[in-house]
A and B are shown apart, each in its own frame.
Chain A
Amino acid sequence: MSFEPKILAFCCHHCAYGAADLSGALRLQYPVNVQIIRVPCSGRISEEHVLNAFVNGADGVCVAGCLKGNCHYQTGNLRVEKRVDILKNRLSDIGIESERLHMFHVSAAMGAPFARFIEELVETIRGLGPTFGGQEREGGEQLDSRTS
């Protein structure tokens, strides 16, 4: 059985969620692996939210905000973009592929690009495989080469 990734998408109310809605209204198909959470602004998303998704078994997380310069709250999408960049580094630091976290910018009129972005993301994550490959065991093991 092929691996079906679980992906969480944080979409801002004013643009990205509108784009997702439009892609539905246009009857465009995109993979069902994505669960969308609507947020007032993509700038609301902090490191905690993204990490919480990974802790709870997400294979990928995507943050979708307004086009640059079009944020309803001026700079929320730019702030979260920087936050995402830093978080990507922090994830690579502990051995999680940074591609699992992705940010893109859309307007509410971009239903088709939204569906395409999601398709590409699902394909990327499918290629990476699950975040946590093996069966977790309780601690007590010795340090091995995988931690270095």
Chain B
Amino acid sequence: MPAISVTGLRKAYGHLEAVRGVDFEIGEGEVFGLLGPNGAGKTTTVEILEGYRDRDDGEVSVLGHDPQKPGPDFRQRIGVVLQQSQLWPNLTVRETHAMFAGYYERPRSVDEVIDLVGLAEKRDARVKTLSGGQKRRLDLGIALVGDPDLVFLDEPTTGFDPAARRAAWEMIRSLRSLGKTVLLTTHYLDEAEQLADRVAVLREGRIVRVGTPRELTSSELEVEIRYRRDGEDVLVKTSEPTRVLHELTADAVARGRELERLEVRRPTLEDVYLSLTEEEAE
């Protein structure tokens, strides 16, 4: 049974249709990325799965529960990192973890979790003294302290400096090795590419593409070949890079010339993403 399955999900706020028929499945132990620009419907989708919002239409199953009327163990089994939340500023890191641990029937050891999220040195520091990145680690820690099977991460690294992002990525990878299923939303493409087994690209409330990062980048766009000829930059876009390259190099060799600055570039997920999310702009 998949950890999450969503069919024909729809949700409107007044006249605004935030989600307009979304389908996807997430397997157990999979890290799934929901990618899209602001307003694409990512957070609405995730909040429906977390049980915060009722859907207008469609079928949703999360760990075998309908999150709209969840059974008693649903919240025992999920961990949530909200896009923004602040905890009690005057409790310490350890007290905050212990507070949340007390809500669960089978919590993990508080000190283990604090070590896992890299806050060991801040164990007895008050929450208000933590940096932004440390606060996000605390959010992750309290999401893990109940030992959930499924973790929701809503834009977990927004506002991080590069070092903090790398550290957060390491932690999210460690969730995979713990066997957790992870649903991650992000508008950073490199983040999805680095972390997610599969990615769904959301645009205006619809999924425009689902696949592994590799599938998305290999099937979608033409390969770019660049070189210099007679001091001019030349760019060739092709879906048959082997044939075009062969012709180019054969020609150059026959004429005894070098293809200066020859470069073959496969599209990055960013290129794919931009082309998918900007299509309607034309």
A binds B: no
